[in-house]
Amino acid sequence: MTDEPLLRVSALSKFYGSRVGCENVSFDLWPGEVLAVVGESGSGKTTLLNCLSTRLLPSSGTASYRMRDGQWRELYRMSEAERRFLMRTDWGFVHQNPADGLRMTVSAGANVGERLMAVGDRHYGRIRATAVDWLSRVEIDEDRIDDEPRAFSGGMRQRLQIARNLVTGPRLVFMDEPTGGLDVSVQARLLDLLRGLVTDLGLAAIVVTHDLAVARLLSQRMMVMKDGRVVESGLTDRVLDDPRAPYTQLLVSSILQV
Amino acid sequence: MTDIATYNFAYLDEQTKRMIRRAILKGIAIPGYQVPFASREMPMPYGWGTGGVQVTASIIGPDDVLKVIDQGADDTTNAVSIRAFFKKVARVAVTTETATATIIQTRHRIPEHPLTAGQVLVFQVPIPEPLRFLEPRETETRKMHALEEYGLMHVKLYEDIAKHGRIATTYAYPVKIEGRYVMDPSPTPKFDNPKMHRSPALQLFGAGREKRIYAVPPFTDVVSLDFEDHPFEVQTFDQPCALCGAENVYLDEVILDDHGGHMFVCSDTDHCEKRREAPTSPSWGGRAEGAGGGNGQSSLSSTPTPALRADPPHKGEGKEAE
């Protein structure tokens, strides 16, 4: 199965009027692969992610996704109903700010269970058991299941958001700065957890980050963006250890050494 | 009579009625779908039934017989004034009898007496959108209805069970119409939900402030949402009506004094009076619980609004028994 990619992106561009969001981005993503998109803020990383996750429509270019039945579908030709269905079953989207990805006024259990109910599960006991299971997998105590995420710390909220996204067993997860705004020890634990989950579940992921350490830890491959264009791409270790483009060299040399 | 010569029949002008009738027809054609309409200013504040009044005004004709109830009662302020309004502006016959009415405008109850074909039940609706408290954006809720994304509705029921151990929603209990649209049955107690299912009467819903009309045509499936392991059930009362002895009807708690005295009586006043007038009715002399007599075990856990009536009807009868 892995000899065919999961996602094929070709010449994707997004313009905001005359301003460039991202321009001429092409890549393939294979099942189980984690791709990091790095670059400074304003380089078009998030625009690219939003286009790929169909939250934004690109100005030109195509992206095709291999569905569970093996059929290739062009994302921007699918109906909105199909896209939204894909979004809550086969895909996940982890926001930088957990409040954007969670329902802050319903309990943690309901947050995790929502996707199950959305795809038609109507058995309370089963939904709750799954929620308990997922909370433990993201290291949230079972007795917090009926608490609202408002009562959670930043790190817990982010873990809850991850559980909420993974409960339907997606094959592709988009992450926008998943560790942004967390302190370093919490970041480390979250990264550890993410790495474990990605490996265990064989998830493919596209991770947008400005933090090269996050890219190093999570991803196998990375793309470096500047001014909306991909300036360099390759295996993560290669790009970070032997950066070729001048901008990448600048980026790598800017990492603070403690 | 000359004082109303300046008004059109049934208050609204013909163009407006035409517009509302079109919305009603569309609502009937798509059961449970909320049709936007250009709600007019009515000579009453929002929240007092402006939507229901506009629907009634658009469908009423000179031969109609109108009944108006408020929480099941014919004699509360809202019901009395709406009835008087139509008596004045449409000169129609009015009644308190469920069986003889052709149009019944209601706030938060469905009469106990079974409705028949040809009758129209007009609901006053404060918030037509069942998903509103879960998703505040109207653009998003409309999309959810369009794409039939109703998982969120079950999130609310899930929350109920997680917090209370059972589905604690007792009114405005969401229903699915004809297997398609999820609808708010207006804040009627869930006790009345089964009455909507395949009802021979036409049910129209008007929300004046929110500018929406929706409908349930006769003999339409109305299914209350639930979980497989927590099925839908209606409220039960562990005592009959203290006035007429009726069982399996919806009861209101009426406070009798400042010392905890209270009694449970039919919320449907017409039903209660008919039963007491009928010669075959059991000889209930009225029964009231004295101070501290309430065992607190009543299943009437909540009603749409505080069941305390400002002027409890039949109060005197209740007191006589003390």
Residue carrying the six token digits 């009738």? B21
Task: Please confirm, yes or no, whether B272 is among the known catalytic residues.
Answer: yes
**Residue A95 falls within a domain, yes or no?**
no
| Chain B residues inside the 8 Å CB shell of A80 | 143, 147
Contact across the interface for A124 and B228, Cβ inside 8 Å: yes
Asked if residues A155 and A186 have their Cβ atoms less than 8 Å apart, the reply is: yes
Asked if residue A127 and residue A8 are part of one domain, the reply reads no
DSSP-derived letter for residue B230 is B
Asked if residue B283 and residue B180 are part of one domain, the reply reads no
Asked if residue A251 and residue A138 are part of one domain, the reply reads no
Asked if residue A193 and residue A70 are part of one domain, the reply reads yes
Nearest in space to B312 (alpha carbons), one of B269, B244, B254, B251: B254
Asked if residue B186 and residue B44 are part of one domain, the reply reads yes
Residue B280: predicted pLDDT: 60
Cα atoms in the Cβ-side hemisphere of radius 13 Å centred on B194: 9
Asked if residue B242 and residue B106 are part of one domain, the reply reads no
Asked if residue A13 and residue A81 are part of one domain, the reply reads yes
- Helix/strand/coil for B297: coil
pLDDT above 50 for B312: no
Residue A227: predicted pLDDT: 93
| Beta-bridge partners for A65 | A7, A73
Name which of B148, B182, B223, B227 to mutate to probe chain A: the one with the most chain A Cβ atoms within 10 A of its Cβ: B227
Contact across the interface for B149 and A119, Cβ inside 8 Å: no
DSSP strand pairing (B175-177 vs B181-183): antiparallel
| Chain A residues inside the 8 Å CB shell of B230 | 124
Q: At A27, which CATH number?
A: 3.40.50.300
Contact across the interface for B159 and A124, Cβ inside 8 Å: no
Q: What is the pLDDT of residues B225-278, one digit of tens each?
A: 999 999 999 989 999 999 999 999 999 999 999 998 999 999 999 999 999 998
Instruction: Give B164→chain A minimum CA distance, Å.
Output: 11
Calculate the CA dihedral of residues A71, A75, A77, A83 and round it to 10 degrees: 100
Whole-number mean pLDDT of chain A?
A: 91
Question: Which structural domain range is residue A13 located in?
Answer: 1-90+172-258
Asked if residue A39 and residue A129 are part of one domain, the reply reads no
Asked if residue B92 and residue B211 are part of one domain, the reply reads yes
Q: What is the pLDDT of residues A223-253, one digit of tens each?
A: 999 999 999 999 999 999 999 999 999 999 9
**Residue A98 falls within a domain, yes or no?**
no
**Residue A54 falls within a domain, yes or no?**
yes
Asked if residue A202 and residue A86 are part of one domain, the reply reads yes
Domain-terminating residue out of A169, A184, A217: A169
Residue A38's identity, in one-letter code, is V
Asked if residues A138 and A160 have their Cβ atoms less than 8 Å apart, the reply is: yes
Query: And the tokens for B248?
Result: 């399996």
- Stated length of chain B: 322
Contact across the interface for B163 and A146, Cβ inside 8 Å: yes
Write the Ramachandran bin of B245: left for phi over 0, alpha for psi from -120 to 50, otherwise beta: left
Task: Please confirm, yes or no, whether B179 is among the known catalytic residues.
Answer: no
pLDDT above 80 for B65: yes
CB atoms within 10 A of CB B266: 27
Asked if residue A143 and residue A184 are part of one domain, the reply reads no
Instruction: From the candidates B241, B261, B286, B318, give the one annotated as an active-site residue.
Output: B241
DSSP strand pairing (A91-94 vs B35-36): unpaired
Residue B286: predicted pLDDT: 45
Asked if residue B179 and residue B85 are part of one domain, the reply reads yes
Task: State mean pLDDT over A124-140.
Answer: 93
**Residue B261 falls within a domain, yes or no?**
yes
Asked if residue B190 and residue B263 are part of one domain, the reply reads no
Interface membership of B151 toward A (CB under 8 Å): yes
pLDDT above 60 for B301: no
- Helix/strand/coil for A171: coil
188-217 in A: which are within 8 Å (CB) of B?
none
- Helix/strand/coil for B53: helix
Interface membership of A81 toward B (CB under 8 Å): yes
Residue A246: predicted pLDDT: 94
Nearest CA in chain B to A82: B147
Residue A194 parent element (H or E): helix A184-201
Residue carrying the six token digits 């109108």? B66
With cut-offs at 50, 70 and 90, classify the pLDDT of residue A254: confident
Compute the distance between CA of residue A197 and CA of residue A170 in angstroms, rounded to an integer: 12
With cut-offs at 50, 70 and 90, classify the pLDDT of residue B105: very high
Asked if residue A65 and residue A15 are part of one domain, the reply reads yes
Instruction: Give A102→chain B minimum CA distance, Å.
Output: 12
Contact across the interface for A124 and B158, Cβ inside 8 Å: yes
**Residue B125 falls within a domain, yes or no?**
yes
Nearest CA in chain A to B163: A146
Q: Give percent of chain B above pLDDT 90.
A: 79
Asked if residues B250 and B109 have their Cβ atoms less than 8 Å apart, the reply is: yes
Residue carrying the six token digits 């050494």? A257
Interface membership of A143 toward B (CB under 8 Å): no
| Chain B residues inside the 8 Å CB shell of A113 | 155, 158
pLDDT above 60 for A64: yes
Residue carrying the six token digits 């408290």? B133
Q: What is the pLDDT of residues B121-153, one digit of tens each?
A: 999 999 999 999 888 899 999 999 999 999 899
Q: Which of B159, B226, B229 sits opposite A107 (nearest CB)?
A: B159
**Residue B2 falls within a domain, yes or no?**
no
φ and ψ of B200, to 5 deg: -70, -15
Q: Which residue has the higher pLDDT, A90 or B283?
A: A90
Q: Which residue has the higher pLDDT, B302 or B288?
A: B288
Asked if residue B259 and residue B180 are part of one domain, the reply reads no
Asked if residue B111 and residue B31 are part of one domain, the reply reads yes
Asked if residue B280 and residue B179 are part of one domain, the reply reads no
Q: How many domains does chain A have?
A: 2
Interface membership of A109 toward B (CB under 8 Å): yes
Compute the distance between CA of residue A32 and CA of residue A205 in angstroms, rounded to an integer: 7
Asked if residue A155 and residue A221 are part of one domain, the reply reads no
Residue B133: predicted pLDDT: 86
Asked if residues A225 and A37 have their Cβ atoms less than 8 Å apart, the reply is: yes
Query: And the tokens for A194?
Result: 């993410």
Contact across the interface for A109 and B227, Cβ inside 8 Å: no
Domain-terminating residue out of A113, A148, A169: A169
Asked if residue A4 and residue A129 are part of one domain, the reply reads no
Whole-number mean pLDDT of chain B?
A: 86
Which of A182-186, B57-61, B101-105, B266-270 shows the lowest mean pLDDT across its residues? A182-186
φ and ψ of A59, to 5 deg: -75, -35
Task: Please confirm, yes or no, whether B292 is among the known catalytic residues.
Answer: no
Asked if residue B181 and residue B117 are part of one domain, the reply reads yes
Contact across the interface for A117 and B154, Cβ inside 8 Å: yes
Asked if residue A215 and residue A195 are part of one domain, the reply reads yes
| Chain B residues inside the 8 Å CB shell of A114 | 151-152, 155
Asked if residues A208 and A46 have their Cβ atoms less than 8 Å apart, the reply is: yes
Name which of A79, A84, A123, A124 to mutate to probe chain B: the one with the most chain B Cβ atoms within 10 A of its Cβ: A124
Domain-terminating residue out of A169, A199, A223: A169
163-222 in B: which are within 8 Å (CB) of A?
163
Residue A182: predicted pLDDT: 82
Q: At B72, which CATH number?
A: 3.40.50.11310
Contact across the interface for A109 and B152, Cβ inside 8 Å: no
Task: State mean pLDDT over A198-209.
Answer: 91
Contact across the interface for A110 and B228, Cβ inside 8 Å: no
Asked if residue B205 and residue B256 are part of one domain, the reply reads no
Task: Please confirm, yes or no, whether B206 is among the known catalytic residues.
Answer: no
Q: Write the CB contacts of B15 (distance below 8 Å, at least 6 apart in sequence).
A: none
Q: Write the CB contacts of A153 (distance below 8 Å, at least 6 apart in sequence).
A: none
Residue A2: predicted pLDDT: 55
**Residue B168 falls within a domain, yes or no?**
no
Cα atoms in the Cβ-side hemisphere of radius 13 Å centred on B233: 11
Asked if residue B78 and residue B208 are part of one domain, the reply reads yes
Q: Which residue has the higher pLDDT, B271 or A255?
A: B271
Asked if residues B252 and B303 have their Cβ atoms less than 8 Å apart, the reply is: yes
Compute the distance between CA of residue A222 and CA of residue A168 in angstroms, rounded to an integer: 27
| Chain B residues inside the 8 Å CB shell of A84 | 147, 149
Question: Which structural domain range is residue B209 located in?
Answer: 14-129+175-224
Asked if residue A49 and residue A145 are part of one domain, the reply reads no
**Residue A96 falls within a domain, yes or no?**
no
Q: How many domains does chain B have?
A: 2
pLDDT above 50 for B295: no
Q: Write the CB contacts of A209 (distance below 8 Å, at least 6 apart in sequence).
A: A36, A37, A38, A45, A177, A178, A179, A180, A215
Q: What is the pLDDT of residues B15-48, one digit of tens each?
A: 999 999 999 999 999 999 999 999 999 999 998 9
Compute the distance between CA of residue B29 and CA of residue B79 in angstroms, rounded to an integer: 29
Residue A158: predicted pLDDT: 92
> What radius of gyration, in Å, describes the C-alpha atoms of chain B?
20
- Helix/strand/coil for A207: strand
Number of H helices, E strands in chain A: 10, 10
Q: Give percent of chain B above pLDDT 70.
A: 85
Query: And the tokens for B34?
Result: 């909320």
Name which of A82, A122, A145 to mutate to probe chain B: the one with the most chain B Cβ atoms within 10 A of its Cβ: A122
Q: Write the CB contacts of A250 (distance below 8 Å, at least 6 apart in sequence).
A: none
